[in-house]
Structure 1
Amino acid sequence: MKLFPLAAILLLSMLLLAACKDREAEAAAQAAALAAANEQAAAEAERAFEAAVADGNWALAKAQGDLLLAKWPTTEAADRVRPRHEEARAKGDAENEARRAAALWAYQTQPVAGGRQLSAAIYAKDPLDVDGSGAKPVRLIFRDHPDWGRSSYLVLPAGDFAKACYGSCRVTVTVDDAEPRRMAANRPKTDEAIAMFIDDEKTLWRLTKDAKLLRIEFPTRDVGNRVAEFEVAGLERGKMPGWD
């Protein structure tokens, strides 16, 4: 058995050590390049975040901040943006909620004899089973007609309101966490729509101001009382001039 000379062993050791150092240096260089690329990408996202903040576009600022903190959370840009991101998130969420609430309302202007009819309508937050046949959408409508005047009423897609309401009955109206109030209502004798007027439209309209949720409990012909919940915060009050 031959033994390697000491010099050969030392040379081999030096070569192996050099190879290890080269790999470590290469890995370090790759890590540094990746970190630099991440910092550059994060800095671009930070600039987009700052531009959105400057424009007051909080929904976009929230989105840019979300992206930056999700993809490059350990960068210097993330450290700079993080303290302001919560403000952007809160304001962005508020903007998104305001748009969602506004989109719940539908407005119509129709030419009629004597002028034009205006209306603002919204569907209940959740469909209701009003006749035992399954849940269906319920609407609340505010209407301004040149001959019939102003009115507020509920519309059912099926079934009917309680028989007593053809004369006069009462509904229970609750705004957010306020105390419930009883309000007079009546079901007109017509086949044009399954509608019931809430007599004091002025008060009902006033109750929607600064409100988030309007609940109306009403009696049905087939399944007893039901409660319709309307998310009224997005009502564009200027669409119904003269009501406030």
Structure 2
Amino acid sequence: MSVRASAFRHTARPVVLAAAVGGALLVLTACQDPAAQAEAQAAAQAQAGEAAADKAAVEFDAAFAAENWPLAKAHGDLILARHPDTAAAARIAPLHEQAGARAESIREDKRLAGLWTYNVEPVTGGTQLSAAIYTRDRVDSDGSGARPVRLIFRDHPSWGRSSYLVMEAGDFDCYGACRVAVTVDSAAPVRMAANRPDTDEAIAMFIDDERALWRMLDGAKALSVEYPVKAGGTRTAVFEVGGLDRARLAGWK
């Protein structure tokens, strides 16, 4: 071995040893400083959270731009729940509120539309069309228990157009004629003529001016009808009419 090689060998050993000792001291120092270790860990977690929130925000932004409000709300819910303290969460918060409001409006519109039932039925002389809706709350008309009341608009080729209430139990005190109080939203009640046909086919009471009643529903959210019953007094049926598809009875004006 040359003198130079021998010298290098003797010099390298202390350097390697010093590096090893230094690394051990750094590890030992870190282990002996929990505060610094916790701070480093928190910083790493915060950085990971920001990255995850940014990734989720891309999906939120795409859904919001496409006006897919339910999906945008879902993505926003995830970001705000899992990464509430991130920059992405702060940025989307007001947009998430808008998406939530619009998603709720869509949900409510679908719910109201689903309350109506439409029927197209072949009958003698042509086709019968009808639109029907049940009361928001059940009504006890005779003390036997609360039951649904139904409002029906019917267009018959022979009998013409009509509007009437149908009960499942009890009876209307309107044989011959009576007047009922009809209220749209918060407007003042309107007194309208009605009659209970002398028939056992159904417990029905017709509101005579069906065209006026139909027009009253245009733009309305709720319709209530207060009517007399044979059990005594009056009852009130409330209908959430805002989801009516007026095109289903296109001939009505």
By the TM > 0.5 criterion, same fold?
Answer: yes
Does the Cα contact within 8 Å between 2:31 and 2:37 map onto a contact in 1?
no
- Give the TM-score normalised by structure 1: 0.87
Equivalence for 1:151: 162
Pairing 1:169–2:210 present: no
- Give the TM-score normalised by structure 2: 0.84
Equivalence for 1:222: 231
Per-residue Cα deviation, 1:196-244 (whole angstroms, up to 9, x for no partner): 1101110101000110010100111114201111010000111111113
The count of residues paired between Structure 1 and Structure 2 equals 229
Equivalence for 1:3: none
Q: CA deviation at 1:90?
A: 1.8
SS of the residue 2:137 aligns to: coil
Q: 1:15 to 1:29 in 2, by over 3 A?
A: closer
Q: Alignment RMSD, CA only? A: 1.9
Alignment match of 1:205 (pick from 185, 199, 214): 214
Alignment match of 2:191 (pick from 163, 182, 186): 182
* Superposed counterparts of 1:77-156, under 5 Å: 77-156=88-167
Q: 1:33 to 1:223 in 2, by over 3 A?
A: farther
Partner Cα distance (1:172, 1:238) in 2 = 27
Equivalence for 2:200: 191
Q: 1:44 to 1:108 in 2, by over 3 A?
A: farther
Q: Could you list the runs of 5+ residues in structure 1 that have no partner in the other structure?
A: 1-12
Equivalence for 1:242: 251
Percent identity over the alignment is 59
Partner Cα distance (2:74, 2:26) in 1 = 53
SS of the residue 1:155 aligns to: strand
Pairing 1:40–2:55 present: no
Q: Could you list the runs of 5+ residues in structure 2 that have no partner in the other structure?
A: 1-24
Q: CA deviation at 1:14?
A: 9.4
Structure 1 runs of 4+ with >6 Å offset: 13-16
Pairing 1:20–2:32 present: yes
Partner Cα distance (1:15, 1:43) in 2 = 33
SS of the residue 1:78 aligns to: helix
Partner Cα distance (2:248, 2:224) in 1 = 22
Alignment match of 2:79 (pick from 68, 80, 97): 68
**Which deviates more, 51-60 or 233-242?**
51-60
Q: Which amino acid aligns with 1:230?
A: F
**Which deviates more, 186-195 or 34-43?**
34-43
Q: Which amino acid aligns with 1:66?
A: D
Q: CA deviation at 1:83?
A: 2.1
Q: CA deviation at 1:29?
A: 4.1
Partner Cα distance (2:170, 2:26) in 1 = 92
